[in-house]
Amino acid sequence: MLNYIIKMLKTYIYFCIFLIMISCSNHSEKIKKPLNVVWISCEDMGPILGSYGNQIIKTPNLDKLASEGVRYTNAYSTVGVCAPSRFSIITGMYSARLGANNMRTGDYHNYKTPEEVSHKKNIGVIDKAGFNIPEYEVVPPPHVKPFTEILRKEGYYCANNFKCDYQFNAPFTAWDEVSSTVSFRDAPNGMPFFYVWNTLLTHESRIWERSNKPLTVSPQDVIIPSYFADIPEVRKDIARKYSNIEAMDRKVGELMDQLESDGVLENTIIMFWSDHGGNLLRQKRAVGNSGLNVPLIIRYPDKKNAGKVDDRIVSLMDLGPTVLSLLNIKPPNHYDGKAIAGRYEQEPRKYAFGTADRFDESTDMQRSVLDGRYVYIKNFMPELPLIYRNKYRERIPMNSKLIEMDSKGKLQGDAAYIFMKTKPVEEFYDLKFDPYEVDNLIDNPSYSSKIDQLRSELKRWQKEIDDKGFIPENEIVKSFWPNMIQPVTENVIFSINNQGKFELNSATDGASIGFQIDDKIGTENWDLYHKPIELNKDQKIAARAIRIGYKASEITSN
């Protein structure tokens, strides 16, 4: 009887050990499962969601995301308009450092194949020196590349649906696919993904393009910034803006449902952000808080720090380095962007810096520094009005109406403030008491110490980055394209190393190389070359090189 009990006890112990081993094995598999990253990118929107305190706009899906993630209150774009801002996001570098600070250099909203790219010689744009500016592409230093190439080298499927707008045509090496239909679901089985979903619903153009859609917010309920007159046109367009945000939120909910139903939400980092601040007058294109402050929410797979509010100063340039850091990839040392989370998290910023130069046909030069409470602005062309004429934004009914009212002297108080006919050389605002930035305290002695501090920081920063805003744009273009001729990337040369593998090289410094094998040859999708390639004797390979801002090489094959 005793032997039987001992035998049963041993059996029970072995069984328990087996269950523990299975449990540990399953746990280990969960830990080892690679993380995915999804960016939810919206347009032209400040932090006016429910989770940021706006009780009029109903954004249940983004509010849920914030409750399950970390919400950043002091996140800023580098420029108050999309293309220079997105340049900083994809490169991790200040646009004013690299001469990408003028909006916009060409028609690069969406990806084009090299054969589809063309550049108009006259688009009706004159720089501050009076010279014609054609379409061109920014040419960064050779070491500056889209950070997505790093992810691709590390085995990530990178897909973009579907906006680029980087001040250069997106290199075919930057993404596995860019299209209006691509999804995270297109990632090869078992391959981790970095997926960017862009929505245009909140873009300034949707104020007029969606004017026939039903309003989901009543014009009577909207919050009117004090720098706008309370007139029907203003209320209606703000209601449209709010309704567009609600429509965007519903689309975000659909995407989140897809991630959850596909079983990938549990190992996917979600990052929601806007490319710059609001889409109305004194918001878009502005260098103050209204133009640069954006929402930023990061949700982790395990809902780490759920509901946390982070007041650190963050730049949208930090997004790329943060993705790399969260995936245990060390960001390049040359980045202006800083990782704000993950293995390579860096010291927080003390300040955010903003720039404004040419916007379409209108040229100005402003610089700003913000610390979360105070805003210091330096106007380098104070002889110009704050609200300059811009054909694109005047398609918004309220904008053209306010400009008309100003011309007739019908605006008063704060509503007249933004229509100043010339600008002070310096502006200084205390957001704690003046959230709409209409009370310039630059001559208030009570703030002299803080003003001196921010003034010095702005000077230091401009010197550090060698601010290209001081250079007429035509000179910048000539530095990129000598004699106004776009340089061409050298063709790919094939060689076989001592291990019998193909090595691909281009003589152009800074060129990235894409390649295609067998059935993929002739398609628009290119694999990124980053190590020697082993081929069977019957396989065919084609390759092409591209440096940012250069014309792509010809396609060559072995």
- Residues with a catalytic annotation lie at 82
CA distance 536 to 474: 50
Nearest to 249 by CA among 45, 400, 517, 464: 45
CA distance 520 to 554: 17
CA distance 455 to 516: 52
Find out whether 509 and 160 touch, Cβ atoms under 8 Å.
no
CA distance 304 to 51: 18
Beta bridge partners of 546: 512
Nearest to 469 by CA among 96, 65, 33: 96
Which residue bears the tokens 């009887």?
1
Find out whether 177 and 159 touch, Cβ atoms under 8 Å.
yes
State the distance between the two ends of the chain, measured CA to CA, in whole angstroms: 79
What does the DSSP 8-state code read for residue 413?
T
Find out whether 159 and 193 touch, Cβ atoms under 8 Å.
yes
CA distance 269 to 38: 6
Residue 8 CB burial class (10 angstroms; 0-12, 13-18, ≥19): exposed
109 alpha carbon, distance to own chain's centre? 13
What does the DSSP 8-state code read for residue 172?
T
398 alpha carbon, distance to own chain's centre? 27
